[in-house]
Amino acid sequence: MSDAPLPEIDFWFSIGSTYTYLSVMRLPDLAAKTGITFNWRPFSVRAIMIEQKNIPFVGKPARTAHMWRDIARRAPYYGLSPKIPAPYPLENFDLTNQVAILAAQEGWVQDYTRATYQRWFEHGEPAGSDPNLSTSLNAIGQDPARVIPAAQTEFCLSAYTQATNQARDLGIFGAPSFIVGSELFWGDDRIEDAVDWAYAQQAVS
Amino acid sequence: MSDAPLPEIDFWFSIGSTYTYLSVMRLPDLAAKTGITFNWRPFSVRAIMIEQKNIPFVGKPARTAHMWRDIARRAPYYGLSPKIPAPYPLENFDLTNQVAILAAQEGWVQDYTRATYQRWFEHGEPAGSDPNLSTSLNAIGQDPARVIPAAQTEFCLSAYTQATNQARDLGIFGAPSFIVGSELFWGDDRIEDAVDWAYAQQAVS
């Protein structure tokens, strides 16, 4: 084993992606177990998917049914008990991700993202709308009256666009995505491959 | 552990699907290791995907690049060394799957499918066209002069359509797919989940 530090993994996500629920809920344990730092990077997967005409679920009932069943079957592997299907798609997709952008700048992005996903997937309250939005912020010690307007300033909108541009430049086309060095791994089910890759990079460095 | 027999798993596939290369090559070992019988069921995933407007790769360069890279990264987990990218898409998609339909009726579908995928992914020869088609048939002791016309009779065409209709009725929208009882698992990366499900069904039966 090399003494080189473990590579970090950039975790690119959008609140609104269904499989991202699994990642958001299991990443903290995985980080503790592996010693790997995950950098939580919110962006708009919706903007990129629209550009790329990547429409996985709308008008595709068989594929949608499998997606929900697949999440329900995999959740117990991680000790999770979601109510499936969760309300989908989100009405306020951009607002909740703009809050995540602000949260990333201020250091509470993991807490916010987990709180809002938990209410969305375990209590049936859509992320980005009340009661989820205010309740999640209050629960993590943030003031909705400050945060919600701050998340909609030109500064946050611009940071959101920049993050999305950076994701596109990295070849990201879906969420969740994991970047290790120049390698892109797409999907909650590729986290373990990304971790293996990070360890292998350490071994050769 | 129950004395009940292990549930069998229906393996629905189309020669032409890229991820199916991984499944086709690793299923025999997995069957031996788990004691589970996999029933190999060729069908036309292309017909179903066109109907459902499910177009994962055409005109989607970022997603296509990830698909090839993902297969290249996962192949070594199974001891495989494909030449990536393989020629794609297949020109004679239907012909090679009609041969598989005949092969399933005559008992040599695993041998044919593995031989033709190996030439396609490891030697760069598209499945369904010569030299792949005749060489693969000869290699497994089948006569191309008999098989290729037989695969195009009304009888085989009708069996191919029936298999595709059955797949659609089962909720299948992509390949490879795995059916255990009434549960559908989609993707090479869900084989282990399907195996877990089969064991769990045995335990409760």
Q: Using the 8-state DSSP alphabet, how is residue B183 labeled? A: E
With contact defined as beta carbons under 8 Å apart, do B30 and B24 qualify?
A: no
Whether A111 contacts chain B with CB within 8 A: no
Range 55-74 of A in CB contact (< 8 A) with B: 59-60, 62-63, 65-66, 69-70, 73-74
- Asked if the model's pLDDT at residue B205 lies above 80, the reply is no
Question: Partners of A180 in the beta sheet?
Answer: A183
Which tens digit of pLDDT belongs to each residue from B102-158?
999 999 999 999 999 999 999 999 999 999 999 999 999 999 999 999 999 999 999
- Interface touch B54/A63, C-beta < 8 Å: yes
Q: Using the 8-state DSSP alphabet, how is residue B87 labeled? A: P
Q: Which one has a higher pLDDT value, B114 or A205?
A: B114
| CA B134 to chain CA mean position, Å | 19
CA distance A196 to A200: 6
Sorted by where each begins, the domain ranges of chain A are 9-204
- Asked if the model's pLDDT at residue B71 lies above 60, the reply is yes
The CATH T-level fold of domain B9-204 is Glutaredoxin (3.40.30)
pLDDT band for B1, please (50, 70, 90 cuts).
low
Range 9-38 of A in CB contact (< 8 A) with B: none
Say which of B173, B183, B193 has its CB closest to residue A63. B173
Taking the alpha carbons of B78, B81, B85, B89 in that order, is the dihedral positive or negative?
Answer: negative
The string of DSSP codes covering A147-166 is: HHHHTTSHHHHHHHHHHHHH
Indicate the pairing of strand B177-180 with strand B183-186: antiparallel
Which tens digit of pLDDT belongs to each residue from A136-162?
999 999 999 999 999 999 999 999 999
Of the listed ranges A2-11, A139-148, B86-95, the one predicted with least confidence: A2-11
CA distance A62 to B79: 33
Kindly report the length of chain A. 205
CA-based nearest residue to A12, from A31, A40, A33: A40
Residue among A57, A70, A170 with most chain B CBs within 10 A, to mutate: A70
SS3 content of chain A, % helix, strand, coil (to 5): 55, 10, 35
Shortest distance, CA B13 to any CA of chain A (angstroms): 16
